[in-house]
Amino acid sequence: MNILFLCTGNSCRSILAEATFNALAPDGMRAMSAGSQPAGEVHPRSIALLKREGIASDGYYSKSWDKLPVTPDIVITVCGNAAGETCPAYLGNVLRAHWGVDDPARATGTEAEIDAAFVKAYSILRKRIEAFLKLDAESFADKSKLQKALQLIAGSIV
């Protein structure tokens, strides 16, 4: 099963989700990430946070959704709604979910406040990924059940 975490810039949230998912997922499940307008680099705070959490950060880079290595089975958008962000719409015939998270790259304030925004985004994504990975086999076998489970995860972990 291939999961695509999608946002606009592919520099923070989708990278954090991809790396975290790949660190936690069992064999047979793999995440990738992309952006509709890739920033061209991964935010340095994202890399630093992954390293602090003990998650491999090598090999991750900001990339476009039109250069995916495989067709995803599930596309999860992670754009935030609070700042009026427009999430890209993946048009392929796949299961879709929206797990909105505020963009830590837009955080302002002291260094500690900006770091806290990155930690918050990572924490939300990690909890949602952990909940996803705990779903039973029956949920994965039935697309409508999986769709409902993905929506429930997004709504219950904020």
Query: Of 32, 74, 79, 121, which residue is the catalytic one?
Result: 79
| Beta strands, E only, 89-143 | 95-98
Pairing mode, strands 30-35 and 2-7? parallel
Q: Which two tokens stand for residue 22?
A: 């790949």
Burial, 147: exposed, middle or buried (Cβ in 10 Å; 0-12, 13-18, 19+)?
Answer: middle
Query: Of 4, 6, 7, 15, which residue is the catalytic one?
Result: 7
Is-catalytic flag, 12? no
User: Which among 156, 112, 149 is positioned nearest to 132, based on CA atoms?
Assistant: 149
Looking from the CA of 29 toward its CB, the CA atoms found within 13 Å total 18
Query: Of 29, 87, 94, 131, which residue is the catalytic one?
Result: 87
Which run of H or of E encompasses 16? helix 13-24
Distances (CA, A) of 105 to 48, 50, 53, 84, 139: 13, 15, 19, 15, 34
Residue in the structure block whose two tokens are 């048009």: 91
Is-catalytic flag, 79? yes
| Active site residue ranges | 7, 79, 87
